[in-house]
Amino acid sequence: MKIKIKIVQRHSTAFKKWNESCVANATIIHIDAHSDFYGLSKKTKQDLISHRIIEKDSIYLTSEGDYDIGNYLSIVIETGIACGIVWVRQDFNPSNIKLEQTLYENFMKSGEGISEFKWCGFDKENRIATAIVNGIKWDFCSFENIEWNIYKSVVIDIDADYFMFYEEDIRNEVIKDTLKKCGEHINLQCDFIVLSISFEGGFISSDFQYNIIKLSKELDFIYDIEWVTEELIHPLLSSDFREKYNYALYLLRSGKYRESNYEFLSLVNYYNWIPGVHYNIALTYRILNKFFESEKYYKQALQINPDLYMVINDLGTLYLNEGKIIDAVILYEKEIDKYDIHSDINFNLGMAYYMQRDLERALERFKRASDLQQINYRYSYMQAITLKELGAIQKANKILCNLLELPLQDKFKKLVNNSI
């Protein structure tokens, strides 16, 4: 049996390839550092099936709303390609005693499309955790604990991000070992399609290609490799820029903020027309508590493209952190009608009103945020606190008691208990 390997650069291409291969009701073995699941609140199923979603280059434009920025598993589930997910990450193991909290926090931060997170427990014998997320069963485990035999139809989805945090001297061996072990579990009952996904022109991409070619020569498996050609979204961008930009992103995600800031700044003189460069400079400055510089580059990104939601929302939170409450209110009130479907901008506007002691309008925004993303404890907590200040004690305590049923961190759980 041939092992099908399709090498793609963008999630949207993977989605289309699965459609072309008529994959349906499969279990996705999702080997990735990220869940790639933000829920589905903005697009209709018909839009997804007909591919009418506009593909944006999220890496360079830092825009939202498409399924290339970590939302494609939502579409995969919604369109019937997948009926279950196995998310594989090396820290999903029994030694991680706070796995439930870690996963809850992860999905809570995934946006307004997540309406349900129900923990089902950890199977210590098989070393697999399970939760129901938006009605879909998710298993969580490390690679060595995948229960290959219990799934009837499987698609393997490998993202370069999974290997990003391995040191360079062992990364190639880990990639090789992962691909080899995936091949060992091929059987006639399973439909395996291995997808190797990486940033366009990224520095990890070559590691994948090298190891796949090498494996096809070394191992006894017969490979059916398709190198999927994808149109460049920004053909004017040189390979040198792509490599430097993606390296700067890698440093950012690795927590090396000063180094990342330096790399992004080295690009701005030659590529100042790309808002993503300005955005990431602003982001790194913000993390480094250089608020004046951060504000400057957020504004420069918006001068290039005034409709970038991420930039608008981040600039508003920067104002809140600086104590510029009036500036935050002016910005958010100007944009709220356009972006009212986003829970975080509603919450942030609510916080600005709360700081101004405009409790009625703060409550309205906290409630809107909570309605959009029901599992977010921060939204519900501020709604309850505002209700208390307005005298609705019983309603506030009911919300606070419901919060205690969530897998909260000990510090926040104590805060909730003290607020009842």
Report the range of poorest mean pLDDT among 189-193, 240-244, 341-345: 189-193
Residue with tokens 């459609």: 19
Judge whether residue 365 has pLDDT over 50. yes
Give bridge partners of residue 85 from the DSSP assignment.
28, 138
Residue 66 has pLDDT above 70, yes or no: no
Q: How many helices (H) and strands (E) does the chain have?
A: 18, 9
> Is the CB of residue 139 less than 8 Å from the CB of residue 130?
yes
111 vs 378: CA distance, rounded Å: 13
Report, as an integer, the average pLDDT of 10-17.
76
H or E element in which residue 352 lies: helix 343-355
Q: Of all residues in the chain, what percent carry a pLDDT higher than 90?
A: 39
DSSP 78-109: HTTSEEEEEEE-TT-STT-TTHHHHHHHHHHT
Over range 5-11, report the average pLDDT.
73
Average pLDDT taken over every residue of the chain? 81
Rounded alpha-carbon distances, angstroms, from residue 55 to 45, 58, 233, 307? 16, 9, 9, 16
Taking only the tens place, the pLDDT of each residue in 197-239 is 554 434 455 556 666 667 666 655 566 767 777 666 566 667 7
Residue bearing the bigger pLDDT, 111 or 282:
282
Q: Are 31 and 158 in contact (CB under 8 A)?
A: yes
Alpha carbons 116 and 300: distance in angstroms, whole number: 38
CA proximity to 403, closest of 417, 389, 387, 386: 417
Look at residues 258, 249, 272, 256 and name the one whose alpha carbon lies nearest to residue 199. Answer: 249
In angstroms, the CA 390 to CA 363 distance is: 9
Span of 55-59, 78-82, 342-346 with lowest mean pLDDT: 55-59
Going from N- to C-terminal start, the domains of the chain cover 3-227, 239-419
Tens digit of pLDDT for each residue in 315-342?
999 999 999 999 999 999 999 999 888 8
Higher pLDDT, 364 or 307: 364
What are the strands of the beta sheet with 128-133, ordered from one edge? Answer: 117-123, 128-133, 136-141, 82-88, 26-31, 154-159, 193-197, 3-8, 223-227
pTM to 2 decimals? Answer: 0.82
Residue with the bigger pLDDT between 400 and 240: it is: 400
In whole angstroms, give the CA distance from residue 238 to residue 209.
Answer: 20
Nearest to 8 by CA among 300, 301, 231: 231
Give mean pLDDT, residues 16-29.
84
Q: What are phi and psi of 195, to 5 degrees?
A: -110, 125
Q: List the single range of 177-181, 350-354, 366-370 with lowest mean pLDDT.
A: 177-181
- C-beta of residue 160 within 8 angstroms of C-beta of residue 197: yes
Could you say which of 1.20.1740.10, 3.40.50.2300, 3.60.70.12, 1.25.40.10 is the CATH number of the domain covering 239-419?
1.25.40.10
Instruction: Looking at 187-308, list the stretches that DSSP marks H as alpha helix, in order from N- to C-terminal side.
Output: 205-218, 239-253, 257-268, 275-287, 291-304
Model confidence over 178-197: pLDDT tens digits? 877 887 776 655 555 666 65
DSSP state of 270: T
Q: Provide φ and ψ at 85, rounded to 5°.
A: -130, 140
Please indicate whether residue 137 or residue 181 has the higher confidence score (pLDDT).
137
